[in-house]
Structure 1
Amino acid sequence: MIRHLLSTADLSRTDANLILDTAEEMARLTSGRSVKKLPALRGRTVVNLFFEDSTRTRTSFELAAKRLSADVVNFSAKGSSVSKGESLKDTALTLAAMGADGVVVRHSSSGAPYRLATSGWIDAHVLNAGDGTHEHPTQALLDAFTMRRHIGDLEGRRIVIVGDVLHSRVARSNVSLLATLGAEVILVAPPTLLPVGVEQWPGEMSYDLDSVLPDADAVMMLRVQRERMNAAFFPSAREYSRRYGLDARRFGLMPDSAIVMHPGPMNRGMEITADVADDARSVIVEQVSNGVHVRMAVLYLMLAGADENSADAQEAVA
């Protein structure tokens, strides 16, 4: 297993499948138990280092680490020394002095986790929990885990990713990971919400959502990230919804076996209507619970040094 998880591009198919298989073990070992804690990371310290606001991701990592019996320290930039001007280097040196074994970092600047992992400031394992518009590898892993549970092996499956690809670290991580796992990825967005060089990414592009839905195995709607937009990327929210929103009519174009996904939080009524989001074939809530299992697997494999066989996970945590 790799020392740091900074990008899904760093994962081989073997690495990715090891994480997904280990996540299945974590789900199996914790489901139905009144006490969900496992002793695998007892005595290890995991620091959640969040320079950017997040509730869902930080809580998921905190639950994952605690269920593995790790000691968890939550560090938020607001109200900390960072708000007083402390640099990333000084923060890293502080964490090193505290003996952190793993650092989960979320930052508004693309590349910050890479800088932390390669600078020599800290000897801990670094896990990227989202950096700028670059990557969000554990979100892609939990998405793949959820898909695999519903549609089976991802080899040859058609996965449609719709919406604000330009600002989406989730899209970048998913495209890379899904290609590694053998899936066919179709990106659908208005031209203004596709990044420069997207034609070099693995997969296809389309501006017409209706045309790709009948062959989709999974449709992932992306949040329109208006907080990252400093220009008019589309005429209006109503126009965007009309062209690229997933409503009941478009939902009806999808195969009966296809699932609907969203990394959250949702803009209901814009990228997805409430009736589709709440349909039985929507796995959006399940993605959240699966995120804990996947992050448990990643933390375990990185910090406990498991062999390249997911069966070892069962033996170590049982």
Structure 2
Amino acid sequence: MNLFKMDDLTNRDLHGLLDLAQKFKNNEIDGSHLSDKTGALLFYEPSTRTKLSFEMACHKLGIQLLAFSKETSSVTKGESLYDTVKTIEALGADFVVIRHPEEQYYKQLEGVNIPIINGGDGSGEHPSQCLLDLMTIKEQFSKFQDLNVTICGDIKHSRVAKSNAHALSRLGANVRLAAKEEWQDPELPYPYVTLDDVLSDTDVLMLLRVQAERHDEQSYDENSYLKKYGLTMERESLLPESSIIMHPAPINRGVEIDSSLVESSKSKIFTQMENGVYIRQAIIYNVLHKGGALYENINQKYQATRN
């Protein structure tokens, strides 16, 4: 079982993974029987939160990790992604997590026989980030239906925007997008709005990092971006009291969001990071059980272990 994109999961799968992650968060599941498993994290792009939370998830599950660094591996000698992953498989790894700058890199990996978890593919998708965002929203509102979600920022270059917009819409949320014209993605079938016009009825404000590394040239002025398009103190005051602020991080403080709001009462940014560990535990646990760790199976199994 692989996890490449959000469309690989049915709505039932989504809720099953969220419930499983919540069980990990509540210490209702003991995954220590996975101590005989080995995984590998192949990160071809820089990462802090995703890589470290996958490492922490493996640590909590008792899973051993093979060390890999692009800079010190045979990638520097021209080894293909396929041959690297097949090597990991041949060495005995039980699964692999991959972040790669190429969209849909996983299409190169037909013939690999261990589960592959997508840790982000260029500007494509980021399923584990999407799931941790869904977990954070569900914890706050206990639902998705009819929530007004505004995703604001560098939509065109954001894999997070794509994954979240599609998943939230499937789950019944009203998704709106806000972005500079040149950062809009016409392929996303959701309305573009002006941020100031929708803040008063926004339940979830999802800010995105300006991804300068994916731009051909600097297409924004850091000094004016916050005032024109970011979350200022003034804009934050327009949000409903019950609303939450989210950001996948890393955060460009003073660009996408006023620095003083990063840890404000509405902000769930660090909660997202915490939930990332539990979601990634759930993803790994589920792929190692070939998708059978969800729903009735896991409920029955772990009720028995607790009695």
TM-score (normalised: structure 2): 0.94
Aligned residue pairs: how many?
303
Residue by residue, what CA displacement relative to the aligned partner does 1:267-299 show, whole Å, maximum 9, x if unpaired? 111110011112121111111110000000111
Q: d(CA) in 1 for partners of 2:7 and 2:301?
A: 24
Alpha-carbon separation, structure 2, partners of 1:124 and 1:241: 44
Mapped partners of 1:100, 1:317: distance in 2: 28
- Partners of 1:266 and 1:61 in 2: CA distance: 20
Q: Does 1:56 align with 2:49?
A: yes
Aligned partners of 2:79, 2:266: CA distance in 1, in Å?
A: 46
CA shift for structure 1 position 312: 4.6
Amino acid at match of 2:17: I
2:7 maps to 9
Match of 2:299 in 1: 311
Match of 2:182, SS? helix
Q: Distance in 2 between matches of 1:98 and 1:126?
A: 15
Q: How does 1:146-295 map to 2 (within 5 A)?
A: 146-198=136-188, 201=189, 203-206=190-193, 208-234=194-220, 236-295=221-280
Q: State the 1:261 CA deviation.
A: 0.6
Check conservation: 1:209, 1:243, Cα contact below 8 A: no
The answer to whether the Cα contact below 8 Å between 1:113 and 1:127 also exists between their aligned partners in 2 is no
1:73 to 2:59 alignment: no
Q: How does 1:95-106 map to 2 (within 5 A)?
A: 95-106=88-99
Q: Does the CA-based 8 Å contact 1:306-1:313 persist in structure 2?
A: no
1:42 corresponds to 2:30:
no
Q: Per-residue CA shift, 1:65-121, capped at 9, x if unaligned?
A: 1211112123221111101211112112211211221110000111113432xx10x
Q: Any runs of at least 4 consecutive aligned residues in structure 1 with deviations exceeding 4 A, and if so which?
A: 315-318
Q: Secondary structure at the match of 1:220?
A: strand
Q: Secondary structure at the match of 2:71?
A: coil
Contact residue 151 and residue 217 of structure 1 kept, 8 A: no
Contact 1:193 1:233 in 2 (8 A): no
SS state of the match for residue 153, structure 1? coil
Which segment is superposed worse, 304-313 or 15-24?
A: 304-313
What SS class does the counterpart of residue 253 from structure 2 fall into?
coil
Residue 214 to residue 314, structure 1, CA distance change in 2 (3 Å): farther
Contact between 2:58 and 2:65, CA under 8 Å: does it hold in 1? yes
CA contact (8 A) 1:42 1:71 kept: yes
Is 2:131 the counterpart of 1:141? yes
Q: Deviations over 1:214-268 (max 9, x none)?
A: 111110110001111113534x223322221101100000000000110001011
Contact 2:53–2:276 (CA<8 Å) still a contact in 1? yes
Separation (CA, whole Å) in 2 of partners of 1:281 and 1:312: 37
Q: Measured at CA, do residues 15 and 242 of structure 1 come closer, stay the same or move farther in structure 2, by a change above 3 Å? A: same
3-state SS of 1:174 partner? helix
- Kindly provide the amino acid, as one letter, of the partner of residue 102 in structure 2: S
Letter matched to residue 222 of structure 1? L
Residue 22 of structure 2 corresponds to: 24
- In the alignment, structure 1 segments of 5+ residues that lack a partner are 31-35
Comparing 143-152 with 225-234, which one deviates more in the overlay? 225-234
Q: 1:45 to 1:300 in 2, by over 3 A?
A: same
Backbone CA RMSD of aligned residues = 1.8
Q: Which has the larger displacement, 80-89 or 15-24? A: 80-89
TM-score of the pair, normalised by structure 1: 0.90
Paired residues of 1:64 and 1:295 also in contact (CA < 8 A): yes
The 1-side partners of 2:266 and 2:101 are apart by 33
